[in-house]
Amino acid sequence: MNYRHAYHVGNHGDVLKHVVLLHLLEALRAKPAPFHLLDSHAGIGLYDLAADATQRGGEYRLGIGAVLADPQAAAALPLYWDALKQLNPALEPGGAGLRHYPGSPWLMQQALREADRLALVELHPEDNETLRINIGGDARIGIHRRDAYEALRGLLPPTPRRGLALIDPAYEQRDEFERIGRALLAAHRRWPVGQIALWYPIKDAGSVDAWAKALARDGLPPSLRVELLIRAATAPDRLNGSGLLLLNPPWRLDQQLKAPLAYLLARLGREPGAATRLEWLVKPKD
């Protein structure tokens, strides 16, 4: 409840999460059937990079700032660039003109068509109110102030059944990995046809590997693991990278993410041990 994403907005974890999210949304939009989106930890939805909290954190400078410093970013990450350009019309190659950064709710809202729906969940009272200012007033969107874990039980399965749930906890509690693992499995049982994208931090690679392998043994559907390390994951007191576990990902997503992931490694991998992972935790059946 004390976590405020404004201090971390636009960092390397955000960049990875949003690049992957945009590919997931594009795949949903490729078919005419309506879909339902859920963001379980929505935050405020839209961020001013000049705000005091963001400037004090400053993490965006080595995240989105490092990406956009390359004049070729638009060609390498076209979906991401187009979203940033829509939000920042003055954005230029090299990064000049970047003032606002989109949270996942804003990106999801832009993907909606007339029959699509979006549920945003944010427990923090001030952030929930700001979220309503930034994203509210759209009849296709429901904004909820409730606990994310309770919301995953209460809002899934959605109507329509086709769709995506993004789960992005703050991981402030010691047992957060275990807790979110149980919630992920329960969400899949309630919504077996749904796509679920779970973001997770990587501090110590060994503990994350053990957690992921345990989940695989507990009955996941086809699940793709996408990770970006900006340094070797051997210092458990630092955010060394992040990943997304994608349940029921769209066809050929693993192939589509190869080039963007390699590009992010080149722009964001600043120290020895920087690496990527793009592999099936649970392989699809032939």
Query: Bridge-partner residues for 12, per DSSP?
Result: none
CA dist 269 and 1 (Å) reads 31
Identify the CA nearest to 164 among candidates 37, 25, 19: 37
Structure tokens at 5: 């994403």
Catalytic residue among 168, 175, 204, 286: 168
Identify the CA nearest to 37 among candidates 95, 111, 101, 92: 111
Strand order across the 36-39 sheet? 141-144, 117-121, 36-39, 163-167, 195-202, 241-247, 223-229, 275-282
Active site residue 39: no
Identify the CA nearest to 201 among candidates 182, 163, 173: 173
Catalytic residues, which ones?
A: 168
